[in-house]
Amino acid sequence: MPVDCPFSIVEYGRVSIARIYFEEIAPTYNQRLEGIYWSWFRHRELRQVETFIDSLQENEKLLDAGCGTGFYGKYFEKSKSLQVSYLDISPSMLGQIDSPRKYCEAVEVFALQDRFQTILCFGVLEFCENPQKAIENCLKHLLPQGALYLIIPRKGFTGKVYQSYHRRHGVTVSTVSKSQLDMLVQSAGGGIEKIEKLFPFNFLVKVHRG
């Protein structure tokens, strides 16, 4: 069942459009991911992500910010015995997650009492009206020695293909170069600790507080 989600403060611009889009695809989203191509793609991505995230400790608090139906949060909750909280703009996506810690809000503006050792923000910033504000807000919710992990599409041919796909659905997404990403993170008060290319068109990034 969809979670209760009053959206008075996030009904603007690209966030509003993205919410409508993800609400529309939510009923069949997991089914799509179980298809041959998307299942192969997602598990290839997972292997690299799991190697990249090298600091998870049992029982630590993790926030899956922009979680969709919770693929990564549910995986690490089970495999690493973490206390995972889930945040997304789509109540129908959140409704497919069995957890008491679910929050329906935009990454730019959410405000939680908890602070987290690890925050995942995967495939989110490209939909944000203000990605710098989204990064700033995530960094505010980190514990002092915590880490923010990003997946964000990079500029290039495959990035343009990704943009074209979403454009056909009326959704605008952004891509970044490495230098643009570095400036974005610095402007948000953070620093890039490490970065890798993630097949086929993303950057995978570890960010610490400045």
Q: What is the pLDDT of residues 187-199, one digit of tens each?
A: 999 999 999 999 9
Cα separation, 42 vs 38, in Å, equals 6
State mean pLDDT over 31-38: 80
Q: Is the pLDDT of residue 3 over 80?
A: no
| Average confidence score pLDDT of the chain | 92
C-alpha distances out from residue 209 to 46, 54, 57, 96, 167, Å: 25, 17, 19, 32, 33
Q: Is the pLDDT of residue 2 over 80?
A: no
Q: Of residues 101 and 2, which shows the higher confidence score?
A: 101
Q: Out of 1.10.540.10, 3.90.1150.10, 2.20.28.160, 3.40.50.150, which CATH number does the structure's domain 13-209 have?
A: 3.40.50.150
194 CB-side CA count, 13 A = 8
192 CB-side CA count, 13 A = 18
Q: What pLDDT digit, counting tens, does each position of 89-129 carry?
A: 999 999 999 999 999 999 999 999 999 999 999 999 999 98
Confidence of residue 5 (pLDDT cuts 50, 70, 90): low
Q: What percent of the chain has pLDDT above 70?
A: 94
Pairing type for strands 190-198 and 202-209 reads antiparallel
86 CB-side CA count, 13 A = 25
State mean pLDDT over 193-206: 97
State mean pLDDT over 47-76: 95
